[in-house]
Structure 1
């Protein structure tokens, strides 16, 4: 999946990781308190927010190119393009020949499951984009924080209270407003997007669990290596030779945007907790509406805008409650 929206809440492991990283920059001696100064912490948060916005712009452009390429080739070929090109770019950036340790993971099974979930999320998203508008898919994908809130209990032991449960319920009402299953006109591809969003929510949880174990380079490589291998095995049955250089350029760009976007997303969470970055996820709908109109001439329906507004408001309340409880 090409989004990004990371999980709403940062776990204790993530907080310790940020504290340790910043303390090395600000502590003059081993006896000094392991806490960053307010000025340094603020700068780090601003860097994280800036990187988050860059990552979301990359993902919006990636989805737009994926939808455009889907008009001339099978979505599985688009998935193969996204992962193969991304793997090449990631290997160039981190160069395991120069640093073989980047291929060593402390949690191999966790990396494997996480990579498989990302592949499923990406594939489902590209198939859905054949039939849905960009603003529809991103509005449904905004359900990601609510799914994360639900599954954080059994996976991380972070259980939510009644007020946050109410926010989750209201958020899913917003998703229903977008999909309108009662109208009889709900497109089946919306189900693919919702399933892909669920995969991506679990992927976000596993990313948080890996933050204190593997480096950004290691996680970036494993994120795309699994998908590249699986897609390469499947794509021969769906292959269509590109008929223009613009198609080739778009295929290369998808890989570059995916690799760079996910790398920047990982780095952003090293500078700022997920709770600080979470509100900026919703800015992606502006990108999607603008690109949908500019590239495909698509104007969002009223129910999509209303549903997206409900989802965003509920998500922001969920974030507010989380920060209030944690004193952030």
Structure 2
């Protein structure tokens, strides 16, 4: 592997973090005037249409035949749950703080990997989990204004994301990446269409509708950037750069919503990021 290849992977991973942060900030903006359910429905329709246009001409309807349909269904439902819960959190909480709390997901993977995959965590990983939860407590500290029931939403979305990662690991190479992503998008689009009678009030104006559709394009693009990044660098090397999404979310929150986290929130965000970086470093050592 040439020296340029890890750098390419890192740059692509940083671009993916920026794409996901922009996706969340645009979702928060659109949900304020159109509602959470409408935004997610249009986003999943656009995502599924884009993936189907890409995959079906290449592989035909055979791409929909998967080897582990139950796991694929659970994976799709877990991603839909993440979208519903986290966008609800963004509609009630500042972008930076909600993103930081959501990023305890890699630490929750350590907790859930034991009962679901039979993997054991070492003392260093347990320490990283404890520090991460300490960071969450600092962010939602009493008197800080964020200790509300809404703060449980990004914690719940982080738990769903941890489950999503573990299901992805269980599926592994039993199904192709194209089939997995298309199946996941179709599960989300179908689920939101079934909920349509609960929130239908007519289509939003075309500019807003196009903006919602662009969320699907951004989401697919972000995941594609990560996929290509993993071709150049190992996930262990790239894991720390995912935490740049917290920084990007903080900057976008300032630019788009005129929100600056206070000193305590910034401290908690930093603690969460450091705990995740520490966990990634421990995984890197274990990998070597």
The normalised TM-score by structure 2 is 0.92
- Name the SS of the counterpart of 2:33 in structure 1: coil
1:188–1:306 distance in 2 versus 1, CA, 3 Å: same
Instruction: For residue 43 of structure 1, report the CA deviation from its aligned partner.
Output: 4.9
| Residue 153 of structure 1 pairs with residue 120 of structure 2 | no
Q: Specify which of 35, 47, 51 is matched with residue 74 of structure 1.
A: 35
In 2, Cα distance between equivalents of 1:107 and 1:169: 34
Instruction: For residue 245 of structure 1, report the CA deviation from its aligned partner.
Output: 3.3
Counterpart of 2:17? 56
- Name the SS of the counterpart of 2:190 in structure 1: helix
In angstroms, what is the RMSD of aligned CA positions? 2.0
When structure 1 is superposed on structure 2, of 268-277 and 304-313 the one drifting more is 268-277
Structure 1 gap segments, 5+ residues each: 1-37
Instruction: For residue 49 of structure 1, report the CA deviation from its aligned partner.
Output: 2.7
1:275–1:294 distance in 2 versus 1, CA, 3 Å: same
Q: How does 1:194-205 map to 2 (within 5 A)?
A: 194-205=155-166
1:294–1:314 distance in 2 versus 1, CA, 3 Å: same
In 2, Cα distance between equivalents of 1:293 and 1:240: 32
Task: String of CA shifts for 1:40-70, please: whole Å, max 9, x gaps.
Answer: xx55544433332232222111111111111
Instruction: For residue 123 of structure 1, report the CA deviation from its aligned partner.
Output: 0.3
When structure 1 is superposed on structure 2, of 67-76 and 265-274 the one drifting more is 265-274
| Residue 210 of structure 1 pairs with residue 208 of structure 2 | no
In 2, Cα distance between equivalents of 1:168 and 1:275: 17
In 2, Cα distance between equivalents of 1:313 and 1:233: 41
Q: How does 1:102-141 map to 2 (within 5 A)?
A: 102-141=63-102
Instruction: For residue 271 of structure 1, report the CA deviation from its aligned partner.
Output: 4.2
Q: Is the 8 A contact 2:51 2:182 kept in 1?
A: yes
| Residue 277 of structure 1 pairs with residue 242 of structure 2 | no
In 1, Cα distance between equivalents of 2:56 and 2:206: 28
Task: String of CA shifts for 1:268-293, please: whole Å, max 9, x gaps.
Answer: 34543321111011101121112111
Structure 2 gap segments, 5+ residues each: none
Counterpart of 2:250? 289
1:267–1:109 distance in 2 versus 1, CA, 3 Å: farther
Instruction: For residue 151 of structure 1, report the CA deviation from its aligned partner.
Output: 1.4
The normalised TM-score by structure 1 is 0.81
In 2, Cα distance between equivalents of 1:227 and 1:221: 10
Q: Is the 8 A contact 1:220 1:263 kept in 2?
A: no
Computing the radius of gyration over CA atoms, which structure comes out larger, 1 or 2? 1
| Residue 255 of structure 1 pairs with residue 255 of structure 2 | no
1:148–1:257 distance in 2 versus 1, CA, 3 Å: same
Larger relative helix fraction:
2
Task: String of CA shifts for 1:183-203, please: whole Å, max 9, x gaps.
Answer: 685122210111011000110
In 2, Cα distance between equivalents of 1:212 and 1:45: 23
Q: Is the 8 A contact 1:86 1:224 kept in 2?
A: yes
Q: Is the 8 A contact 1:146 1:168 kept in 2?
A: yes
